[in-house]
Structures are given as structure tokens and as C-alpha cells.
Amino acid sequence: MDRREAIKKAAMLMGGVISAPAIMGVLNGCTAKPAIDWKPSFLTEDQGILITQVSDIIIPTTNTPGAKDVGVPGFIDVMVKDVYAKEDQDRFLEGLKAFNDGAEKNYGDPFIELSPEQQVEYTKEVHSAALAEKAAERPFILMTKELTLLGFFTSEPGATQVLHYDPVPGAYHGCVPLEEVGKTWAT
């Protein structure tokens, strides 16, 4: 028996011994872990990935940039760290953990490891439940939605490509007859 034939027989023998669950484990292990292109200062890296995925679900990339494209996840990280009171930070982190635990309970995997379709489905489900529930304090998903919208619409692409941008105070025109101006407003 030569070397080539021995390798073929060993490969066939190994192929017959490997079970379907082992093959599925290997194939599932080949999925790359999602990554982020920013460094969280308050959140952990996995929490940053989760926030990135949720904000991208709230405002996805279409013919205009999405939340992830304009840096909203980093904005959320800084806002929670620098602006939120300690009790709000704790509530945000507890809500984030409960959100992730709920995904793991419903789908068997943490949120960041779900398929994009499962992530969208779960986020919509949690969002609808949060809207139906009239809690005294905003739940995690609504806090994240608020921060996502704030971060997106105060970014340059959000303000100039999505909203109608009118620079204030605008141009100065000194001597303009009142007839050209028309009705004026006092603000």
C-alpha cells in the first residue's frame, strides 16, 4: 500500500466515523463573530456589538446611511456614560442584559449570534411589547431607540440627507424693503 492510498482509506474511515452533530458543530463554529469598528468606553465589546446591531435594525442603511454608518453606536456609548445618571446607566445595562437573555431564551443563542432575520423579529417583538406596556420608566429598547434617533438626526448625514437642513440663522441681508420680506415672524 502506498502513502496516497493510505491517506484515502484513512479519510474514508474518518468520514464514516464523524457524526452529523459533530459536522454541524464544526460548520456552526465557522461563523465569524460580529465585530465593531469603534472602541466602547462604557460598554463591553459584546454589548457594543449588540447596540450596533439593534441601532442598525432601528435605522438600517437604505439609499441614505444607516445608524451604524454615521457612528450612532459610539454616540450611544458616550451618552450613556457621560450624560445618564448612575441609576439610568444601571437600568440601561440591566435592560440590555434582559434583552440578550430573552433572545437566548427564545432562540437558544445570544442576540449577537442570531441570524439577521431573527434579530429583526426579536427586536420588533420586544419593541411592540414595550409600547404596549405602560411602564413608569422607559425600557431598554425604547431608551436605545431614543438614543439612536437622537444620534442619527444630529449627525451630518441625518440632518442634511434625511431631514430638510436649513442653516440657522441663515444669510444676513441688511437693507431689504419690507415688501420683499412679506410677513415677518417674531421668535
Q: Find which of 20-29, 37-46, 129-138, 144-153 is predicted with most confidence, using mean pLDDT.
A: 144-153
Percent of the chain clearing pLDDT 70 (strictly above): 76
pLDDT, averaged across the chain = 82
Contact 55, 144 (CB under 8 A): yes
Task: Return the pLDDT at 51.
Answer: 94
Task: Return the pLDDT at 161.
Answer: 84
Residue burial 86-114, b: 16+ Cβ < 10 Å; e: rest: eeeeebbbebbeebbeebeeebeeebbbb
Least confident of 45-59, 72-86, 150-164: 150-164
9's grid cell: 482509506
- Work out the average pLDDT over 53-68: 92
Residue 29 scores a pLDDT above 90: no
Least confident of 11-15, 21-25, 133-137: 21-25
The residues, any chain, with a CB within 8 Å of residue 7's CB and separated by 6 or more, are none
Domain boundaries, the chain: 1-31, 33-164
- Work out the average pLDDT over 163-168: 72
Residue 168 scores a pLDDT above 80: no
Residue 87 scores a pLDDT above 90: yes
Angle 141-128-78 from CA coordinates, rounded to 5°: 15
- Work out the average pLDDT over 73-99: 93
Residue 20 scores a pLDDT above 50: no
